[in-house]
Amino acid sequence: MQVNFSDTIPSDARLVAHIADKEKMPGGLEAALEQGAKTARFKGNAGQLFEGFVERGGNVVRVAVAGAGSANADRRSNNLEKAGGALAAKYLTSGEPAIALDFSGSGLDAAGAASVMLGLRLRSWRHDAYRTKLKDEQKVSLKNITAVGAPDGTENAWTDAVSVAEGVEFTKDLVAEPANTLFPISFVELCEDKFAGTGAELIVLDDAQMEKLGMGSLLGVGLGSEQPSRILAIKWDGGKDGEKPTAFVGKGVTFDTGGISLKPGPGMGDMKFDMGGSAAVVGAMLAMVKRKAKANLVGVVGLVENMPDGRAMRPGDVVTSMSGQTIEVLNTDAEGRLVLADVLHWTQVEFEPKQIVDFATLTGAMIITLGSEYGGVFSNDDALADNLLAAGTTSGDKLWRLPISPAYDKLINSPIADMQNIGPRGAGSITAAQFLKRFIINDTPWAHCDIAGTVWADKPGATWGKGATGYGARLIDNFVRENVEG
């Protein structure tokens, strides 16, 4: 979407939008519009929208007013994004090619104006590559935004926001892509294309390299697939020389049948987004690299496809991880933790991070616990957990902390190996986190984010349509802004 800046509303503007705080209409509106808004019970609540038509200069102009909620709200930026998102939801396929977004007299600062435009852009994302029979009224028409009377500094704030938008959109693209086109090798190729010329360093491990490193846990998951597995690391040195990086690790199961422990057929197609953790990590890395984050960062994703086959791992098999620890695989559908076990260990050995956070669509139990409103966070470090929770609130990618403790740890002890990959039915998300904790070296500050319920939505939200939400990318970006950058 093209954004331009202007001091005045274009003379040919057919659609003009204003932002209204709660119980406060924008100044300069015609009496008919104000009366219409009152009649329609428009209050200016965040995401509420009113529109009317007036004659201006001999032309009929469509005028929209989007609510931004209270000017004193704790999460003001989230509400402003809702206002922009409401405009996108209403006008994206309306036939209108352009919108004049009038900030004159809005009282917003540069960050606030950029938040409105960011919400508008994020809600405008679509994945139409495979839709060949869209009717005209279903096609995207809104292509241009003119920001009118924007506060000083808005253009700079928008430049920063565009980097974030590109990262979130890349996350959504990856999550939405079908598994017959997105598999470990093509995932890597897409990232190589996106990061070309950015200054980031990409490191790729293939099956042979992983086998040499002893990654029997990750490689075991991919045995039943014709698609080779990969590890991809994206390294960004934007901070102080020699300072240890902050690491983000993502689960990238590009399709999960469950393996020999085959999932039921209904809903299995959703398992194309079992790589949502990896998508969040690489999307966040793209955003941070694009905006030249002043921090040393590394994003590492383990990419596999979990399929049933004559070569596939069986329930009851024992695999040896890179750490040397052995794992009795009682359920091949608990594969994400097997992937992360080796990726977490390799990341710590290779990059010696000062802290490490992993993101994974790890357990169905997390959906039972938190639904789609929150991701779950588990951590061995209270400060790290608190910082992630705060970043989730700021970004809108909300987290809720759950426990880990030795009481749960004993539930995954195996009678024949160092551990088993599942525990009993109860506390499924917690025992999965306890499993991952066994691969954290020397009490490195670590957090695990189980985002199984948040990467895909069955209905539209404030800044996404039905489908991929982009969850996690902004959470990581906000965490780095607030806690890592100097």
The residues assigned a catalytic role are 263, 337
Do 261 and 364 contact (CB within 8 A), yes or no? no
| Tally of CB atoms within 10 A around 131 | 10
Degrees to nearest 5, angle at CA 89 with 85 and 92: 115
Helix, strand, or coil (residue 299): strand
Instruction: Find the distance separating the first CA and the last CA of the chain, reported in whole Å.
Output: 32
Strand order in the sheet with 296-306: 201-205, 230-237, 296-306, 246-256, 355-360, 446-450, 375-379, 399-401
User: β-strand 15-20 against 98-102: which pairing, if any?
Assistant: parallel
Degrees to nearest 5, angle at CA 188 with 185 and 194: 145
Closest C-alpha among 90, 89, 94 to residue 139: 94
Rg of the chain in Å (alpha carbons): 24
Instruction: Please give the Cα distance from 393 to 400 (Å, whole number).
Output: 10
Closest C-alpha among 267, 196, 281, 201 to residue 238: 201
Host H or E run for residue 457:
strand 456-457
User: What sign for the dihedral angle of Cα 306, 310, 314, 319?
Assistant: negative
State both tokens at 353: 């991070």
Residues forming beta bridges with residue 267, ordered by sequence position: none
Number of residues written out for the chain = 486
- Count of H-run helices and E-run strands, the chain: 14, 19
Instruction: Please give the Cα distance from 221 to 25 (Å, whole number).
Output: 57
Closest C-alpha among 93, 143, 142 to residue 460: 93
